[in-house]
Chains A and B, each alone.
Chain A
Amino acid sequence: MNEAVRTNFDIKDYLRLEMMPHFMCPGCGHGIALRCLLWAVHELGVDKNRLAVVSGIGCSGRVGAYIDANTFHTTHGRPLAFATGLKLARPDLTVVVITGDGDCLAIGGNHLIHACRRNLDITCLMLNNEVYGMTGGQVSPTTAIDRLTTTTPHGNAEPTFDACRLADAAGASFVGREVTRQAPALKSVIKAGLAHEGFAFIEVLSDCTEIYGRKNDLGESPEMILAQKSDMRPEAFGNAADEPFRPNRLRAGVLVQRDRPEYGRVYRERAAAERAKAKAKG
């Protein structure tokens, strides 16, 4: 692809238009995340035929179906494990995982930490809307303290997960975070994650207006998106549980980038060496 094509991004080139209208609620931030992913894909010139999008269950899990690529809607919490097999078997594919805060941090938490540790070349977008949207608004591992959900009727009393710190601690070679409010910035982080050889974890701060914002008086979508700027929710994303609350310290952008060997490459090199040794022995 030439540079002109790459800058001339038209989302329609990457969508299954026959699937429209989409099923996302008015005001949901997931569409922005989808747009930014496809924008990054376009700018990097990734071939749609070699793009594999693996998703789990929940609102985030349904996003992949709109992408005109090889899309796999798998089981709850397991997209990283499915993607691990796919990427090892087919290193020629660009493998993207779209997951959510419940999918990735609760039921799928074990797969996340091992994906970070293993460092296969997979880009993982975790769309964090702080709630289980698909099932009707239950508390999630990233729901902020005191928030009302359908299973925390007296306010959430559980501390929240900082997914980026978790990924960092588990050894992810790339950790990024961005808000849906700043689409160009989000696109840039995703692009950097896709270009990174190794496991890239990207937390996308999305919003759920319909059943989370409304229940907590956070306003309509514009208010919720504007609130991303003033860091009204840093306790969910910026600070570890043992640190004092620090407003306006939510960090976004590329947070971590380490030079670590990509696991698939390491495995294939060792296997090739083993075969060469066997051949030499006759």
Chain B
Amino acid sequence: MTPSLAALHGNRACALAAIAAGCRFFAGYPITPSSEIAEQLSRELPRVDGVFIQMEDEIGSLAAVIGASLGGVKVMTATSGPGFSLMQENLGYAAMTETPCVIVNVMRGGPSTGMPTRPSQGDIMQARWGTHGDHPIVVLAPASVQEIYDETIRAFNLAEEFRTPVIVAYDETIAHLLESVVIPQRRTVATVTRKFARGDEQGFQPYAETEDLVPPMARPGDGHRVHVTGLTHMADGFPTQKPDLAARATRRLLDKIEQNRDRIERTETFEVEDAEVLIVAVGIVARAARRAAQDLRSAGARAGLFRPVTLWPFPEQALIEAAAKARHVLVAEMNAGQLALEVERILGRGRVARLNRIDGEPIPPADIARSIREIAA
């Protein structure tokens, strides 16, 4: 059997990928520019014996999604800026209770209601730090419709493997971009399902410090009868305020992601080996940046591109390597400077310049090339 080729826009690809990844529950609330994901899944899920529900708001949407995941099902929700803001509290609950879930955030212009139909990358920091407290998070930032398909599947696999919420963040441009996508045969798609607790019902410790730091998850009905709480909890699942136990519990949550960076991080580079000028960009901006790098190369400049596909945890080591020879680094993004903060932290502020756009328009290649010429001059 051969894979099929389809012309899809980003949101449709996301919905189809979710089904292929094994998603069987979606709860959401209408919001531009993400609504097509919900619409598509309201049709698709009943066909595969899954459940779609439109909830009363985004708070309830993520709550329902986590509730279904606690029942043992693969789950997803999709939203945009204002809705993503409303989801932050329950996002923290998912991280704290280690409940796998995928949250798609189609980024639009902000702050507040902002520009609902215009693209933006204004949620880069909200995706990392939106919920309160020290928490682990994984954020994937696809740059094409094909990559939305592939990264959505990867998001489910990472969520299940590491028992963590995973955010797929892309902007309105790719959400509504029509591109051809290679759809693999369903049975060739590698999917991961969380480890479920088996046997040993009496002494089962739902949050034990297992060697891989990801304890197996109890499924209601299997006999383990565990307690799940957003309160800081011990290995047995019950709350604690003992300093040593609290520190250990939070540390394991963070380490679970930190120590598996090599399995989670994914980057793309273009002509970085000899790059004296390195462009750092994510999502749709990275595609313009690639074109700008090509144009600069044609004109004799040694330009390259570093694109984090995994946005958080930020691929720090890969950036250091890509920027090894760069005298100048330009961070181009559709916000007032968020990704730049992380790049400056890693590479130092001395050689990092910024190109920002906050008017609801994508950044064209010519603007990036012009910025490079200016800083290199």
Contacts and interface: CB of A to CB of B under 8 A. Distances in A.
A268 B64 CA distance: 17
Q: Top 9 nearest A-B pairs by Cβ distance?
A: A85-B67, A85-B64, A271-B46, A81-B63, A81-B60, A89-B68, A82-B67, A85-B68, A86-B67
B93 A84 contact: no
A240 to B, nearest CB: 24
Given A50-B220, A65-B227, A92-B221, A75 B93 contact: yes
Interface stretch (B51-59, B154-162, B290-298, B315-323): B51-59
Given A71-B227, A82-B63, A275-B49, A65 B238 contact: yes
Given A49-B225, A68-B225, A274-B46, A81 B59 contact: yes
Interface string B75-116: 100000000000001100100000000000000000000000
B46 A111 contact: no
A110 to B, nearest CB: 5
B133 to A, nearest CB: 13
Nearest to A273: B46
B25 interface: yes
A245 interface: no
B25 A85 contact: yes
Interface string A57-83: 000000011001111111100100111
Contact of B71 (A75, A86, A278): A86
Contacts of A111: 56, 60, 63
Given A65-B238, A74-B63, A74-B93, A267 B51 contact: yes
B220 A74 contact: no
Interface stretch (B228-236, B258-266, B334-342): B228-236
Given A65-B238, A88-B51, A82 B225 contact: no
Contacts of B67: 54, 72, 74, 81-87, 89
Given A83-B67, A84-B27, 7 more contacts: A71-B225, A72-B229, A73-B230, A81-B64, A84-B53, A85-B66, A85-B69
A114 B60 CA distance: 10
Contacts of A82: 63-64, 66-67, 70
B223 interface: yes
B228 A73 contact: yes
B209 interface: no
Contacts of A92: 221
Contacts of A270: 46
The residue among B53, B61, B89, B90 with the most chain A CB atoms within 10 A of its own CB is B53
B220 A110 contact: no
B222 interface: yes
A72 B228 contact: yes
Contacts of B63: 74-75, 78, 81-82, 84-85, 111
B238 A70 contact: no
Interface of B: 24-25, 27, 46-47, 49, 51, 53, 55-57, 59-61, 63-73, 75, 89-90, 93, 218, 220-223, 225-231, 238-239
Interface in A201-252: none
A165 interface: no
26 contacts: A19-B238, A49-B225, A50-B220, A52-B220, A64-B227, A65-B227, A65-B238, A71-B227, A74-B63, A74-B93, A81-B55, A81-B61, A83-B67, A84-B27, A84-B55, A84-B67, A85-B63, A85-B68, A85-B71, A86-B67, A89-B69, A89-B71, A89-B73, A110-B56, A270-B46, A271-B49
B230 A89 contact: no
A93 interface: yes
B173 to A, nearest CB: 31
Interface of A: 16, 19, 48-50, 52, 54, 64-65, 68-75, 78, 81-90, 92-93, 110-111, 114, 267, 270-271, 274-275, 278
B71 A93 contact: yes
Contacts of B238: 19, 65
Nearest to B48: A275
A55 to B, nearest CB: 9
Nearest to A50: B221
Nearest to A270: B46
Contact of A78 (B49, B90, B225): B90
Nearest to A274: B46
Nearest to B59: A78
Contacts of B93: 74-75
B229 A88 contact: no
Interface centre among A52, A82, A87, A89 (most CB of B within 10 A): A89
Contacts of A85: 25, 27, 53, 63-69, 71, 75
A70 B47 contact: no
A65 B55 contact: no
Contacts of B46: 267, 270-271, 274-275
A92 B73 CA distance: 13
A89 B73 CA distance: 7
A84 B49 CA distance: 17
A89 B69 CA distance: 8
B59 A73 contact: no
B143 to A, nearest CB: 31
A209 B19 CA distance: 52
Given A75-B93, A92-B221, A275-B49, A70 B226 contact: yes
